[in-house]
Amino acid sequence: MRPISDYHMHTPLCGHATGEPAEYARHAVKMGLSEIGFSDHAPLVAYFDPKVSMRLDQLPLYYRMIEKAQTEFKPQLTIKVGIEADFIPGYENKTKEILADYPYDYVIGSVHFIDDWGFDNPEERKKWEKENIDKVYRKYYELLRRSAQSGLFDIMAHVDLVKKFGHRSTESMAEEVKKTAKVFKECGVAVEINTSGLRKPVKEMYPEKSLLQIYQQAGVPLAFGSDAHDPLDVGKDFDKAYALAREVGYGEYVLFKKRKIERKIKI
Ligand code: ZN
Ligand code: FE
Ligand code: FE
Ligand code: ZN
């Protein structure tokens, strides 16, 4: 068994993904999915890097590209319009303005930066050697909570991304994660199972099982995403993601439309 929807995939506009939306859609159909959503990296608010996100003036092109694919694949495949936006403290209003530009079906929130350090960027990996890993983990969870509290996002992405290169905290983060799950629940934010971790040095699902269990127990809604930056990664390892959701006790996952939960699907 596998989920019917994949809500996390990119387009070449972000500068580090390949393949046109139609190619992602075609692969989705091949994988047996009936719904996908694009969630490319929104223009970075604090600075601009053409290898990290699209430019502000490319947003209209982004919508056009997806709308073209929507027309082409109707009614075989439902294609939602989402976006993945970074949480950068101090830039909430600017982020809000960008997100108000289009009636998105959902907005995925991501923490890829701690202060101005892109901690998951391979080019900034060296900085890990100078950091106290436990402190980095605590700061990361604090930022996840503030992301949810900002009200900017509907789904939080890859909620243990700090482990990407295999850096492990020495102290248990269970209390941090419990606090985070509680905040997600209170703020009405969903969590995703993101299969891209399996393709990264850590070779684990985001989040790993014991953490996902905490979100399940807190009653946080669930969504599925492959974080594909290549059409062939759409729906990748979704059988494993589904099994994981089931193992921790999730009985359903959610679909979004116009930034509201549209439908719940039984697991
Ligand atoms: Zn990316
Ligand atoms: Fe991300
Ligand atoms: Fe992504
Ligand atoms: Zn992502």
How far does residue 175's CA lie from ligand 4's centre (Å)? 24
The stretch 2-15 carries a mean pLDDT of 98
How far does residue 139's CA lie from ligand 1's centre (Å)? 21
Q: Which ligand is nearest to the CA of 53?
A: 1
Q: Which ligand is nearest to the CA of 228?
A: 3
The sign of the dihedral angle between the CA atoms of 195, 198, 200, 203 is: positive
The whole-number pLDDT of residue 47 equals: 82
Residue 229 banded pLDDT, cuts 50, 70, 90: very high
Identify residue 1 by its one-letter amino acid code. M
Tally of domains in the chain: 1
Residues bordering ligand 3, an ion, CB closer than 5 Å: 84, 227
CATH number for 34: 3.20.20.140
- My answer on whether omega of the bond before 43 falls inside 30° of 0, hence cis, is no
Domain ranges, residue 128: 5-266
How far does residue 126's CA lie from ligand 3's centre (Å)? 22
Q: What SS3 state is found at 99?
A: helix
Strand pairing category for 252-257 and 260-266: antiparallel
How far does residue 122's CA lie from ligand 2's centre (Å)? 13
How far does residue 156's CA lie from ligand 2's centre (Å)? 9
Q: Residue 236: pLDDT above 90?
A: yes
Q: Which ligand is nearest to the CA of 86?
A: 2
From the number of C-beta atoms within 10 Å of its C-beta (0-12, 13-18, 19+), residue 2 rates as: middle
The stretch 237-243 carries a mean pLDDT of 98
Q: Which ligand is nearest to the CA of 17?
A: 1
The stretch 22-47 carries a mean pLDDT of 97
How far does residue 8's CA lie from ligand 3's centre (Å)? 6
How far does residue 52's CA lie from ligand 4's centre (Å)? 11
pLDDT digits 0-9 by tens, 149-196: 999 999 999 999 999 999 999 999 999 999 999 999 999 999 999 999
Q: Residue 83: pLDDT above 90?
A: yes
